[in-house]
Amino acid sequence: MHQVKAANSSQEPSLLEYDVVVIGAGLGGLSAALKLAAEGAKVLLLEQHNLPGGFATSFVRGRFEFEVSLHELSDVGPPDNKGAVRRFLEDEVGVQVEFLPVPEAYHLILPEAGLNIKIPFGVEPFIETIAGAVPGSREPLARYMEVCREVSRALSFIGRSGGKPDPAVLLERYPAFVTTAGYTVAEVTAKFGLPEKALQMIYPYWSYMGVPVSRMSFTLFAVMLYSYISKGAYIPRFTSHGLAAAMDASIRELGGETCYNTRVSKILVEGGKVVAVETEGGEHIKARAVVANLSPHLVYGRLVHPREAVPERAARLLNARRVGTSALVVYLGLDATPEALNLDSYGYFIGPSMDTEQAYANFCRFEPPQMQAVICLNRANPECSPPGTTILSATSLVGPEAWREVRPEQYYDVKNQMAGAMVRQLEEYLNAPIRDHIEEIEVAAPQTFARYTGAYKGVIYGYEQDPWDSIVARSMATGSERLIKGLEFAGGFAFMGHGYAPSIISGRAAALAVLHHLGGSAGREA
């Protein structure tokens, strides 16, 4: 077991004027600061916590170091077929992180559907496995995955075009994208005639988005599914904290500054453009641009100053969008090996069935969670815990509003009761003697995430991705949603949506937008 620590960084900015101030050292903010520093901008990253990463972090209990939130990183790819995340980190900004491959896509256990099956990575193995379990699914599933591939490539084309693709090119090269854009997962998938059992086997990643397939953008799901299945998934050897710490170190190596224990209290706006930020400690720092790794609800609701500088359109956008879910997470340090516990997979999706409507309704009710995403970290990283032990974590999505009636004096009892229900389901579905081997246990609820990260209502996801407000619509609207000159957003609430890979790429996109705004005049030599 190893813990990587962020190198010491200044707790006060060395200057009082920068090209760009980045607020928040989540993965989006770290990525934005990295790209800006690599391009020669004078950049300052401010973070209220004492560590980088936001949700990308770890904690220690006893002899175990627990990964807080990462299940698996998409769009990394192997060194000989790099995805966008690996290309950005390694080739563009020089961050060196050792990634370990996740052994399988997922192990799906749905007792009501009679499913207990391990699904592999690789498009052909994926199709073969499902077709072997569900007669009649091979041909429609092959067509389905081809559509997902085309949609994925179309979205990459839109990204390269800066959100302004040539419609003629889209129609000619990516007709499946044009045909399916604006429709939900359920609407598109129904056209392929896949058997119900096959649908249950291809839908588990829906929980990474947190909205039922009847509302989820097909474009987003297609890109996510194809990215995972075609390129596999990876985790950093030294947890997501190691990744965040390496990004922090690279920012400073490139000439940027990072300051922790520093909360921003105001983003100052004059004449419709950003001019400075103020910290709670009283520092007034001039900036020609700001990248906010924060929710627009927080930025427009509390930080933009004066209040009349908040455009009316901002309020309309915030009122139209739905904030995503939070989570209940149980972290378990077990005094037995994965083999002894009957844990033969890395990632599990377990629940009574793959009824996404029912599962989503369960998120919003104050009742024990039903659907869980579970990881046995040792199956991808055997050295993550001492010999003879296992790290297991289970995550259930929960709506933060469902917890609003819990009084402070009830909090710990209620949290532990919910966790107990999750552990009992783990034991039953995985056929694993978990409770007999618990050495360390920790439980995180929406209040936990709100306290440690400052996340709006403790949500771990950004805005819900309905078709009208998914990545395609947001990409096309990025220009019209730049409501204050010099203000950009990165992270889970930005246009790419939530998740590790989207947050990293959104930070890069925000940096490029800022550089364009600065007109190439940013930099230490400017």
Displacement of CA 431 from its chain's centroid (Å): 30
- pLDDT for the residue 161: 67
Using omega within 30 degrees of 0 as the cis cutoff, is the peptide bond preceding 125 cis?
no
Domain ranges of the chain: 17-77+237-311+483-518, 119-232, 326-456
Nearest to 176 by CA among 202, 198, 152: 152
Share of the chain above pLDDT 70, in %: 94
For range 401-412, the mean pLDDT: 87
- Mean of the per-residue pLDDT values of the chain: 91
Q: 119 with 108: CB under 8 angstroms?
A: yes
* Structural fold of domain 17-77+237-311+483-518: FAD/NAD(P)-binding domain (3.50.50)
For range 521-525, the mean pLDDT: 47
Q: SS3 of 64, please?
A: strand
What the block records as the tokens of 430 is: 């995985």
Residue 383, burial from CB neighbour count under 10 angstroms (0-12, 13-18, 19+) = exposed
- pLDDT for the residue 477: 64
For range 474-488, the mean pLDDT: 79
Q: Which residues contact 407 (CB under 8 A, 6 or more apart)?
A: none
Per-residue pLDDT tens digits for 92-127 = 999 999 999 999 999 999 999 999 999 999 999 999
CA distance 431 to 433: 7
Give the number of C-alpha atoms closer than 13 A to the C-alpha of residue 523, restricted to the C-beta side. Answer: 10
CA distance 455 to 282: 23
Instruction: Read off φ and ψ for residue 377, nearest 5 degrees.
Output: -60, -35
pLDDT at 467 over 90: no
- pLDDT for the residue 215: 93
Nearest to 261 by CA among 21, 42, 33, 10: 10
For range 406-410, the mean pLDDT: 90
Q: SS3 of 31, please?
A: helix
CA distance 397 to 371: 8
pLDDT at 469 over 80: no
- pLDDT for the residue 405: 81
- pLDDT for the residue 52: 97
The alpha carbon dihedral of 467, 468, 469, 475 has a sign of positive
pLDDT at 479 over 80: no
Per-residue pLDDT tens digits for 209-222 = 999 999 999 999 99
Query: Beta-carbon neighbour count of residue 439 at 10 Å?
Result: 16
Per-residue pLDDT tens digits for 382-403 = 999 999 999 999 999 998 888 8
The alpha carbon dihedral of 379, 384, 386, 390 has a sign of negative
User: Strand (E) positions, 145-263?
Assistant: 234-236, 257-259
Q: How confident is the model at residue 524 (pLDDT cuts 50, 70, 90)?
A: very low
Displacement of CA 368 from its chain's centroid (Å): 24
Nearest to 482 by CA among 494, 470, 472, 491: 494
- pLDDT for the residue 525: 39
Q: 244 with 57: CB under 8 angstroms?
A: yes
Q: Which residues contact 385 (CB under 8 A, 6 or more apart)?
A: 1, 63, 64, 65, 333, 377, 378, 391
Per-residue pLDDT tens digits for 344-366 = 999 999 999 999 999 999 888 88
Nearest to 461 by CA among 55, 37, 31: 55
Rounded to 10°, the helix 27-38/239-253 angle is 30
CA distance 349 to 369: 13
DSSP 272: T
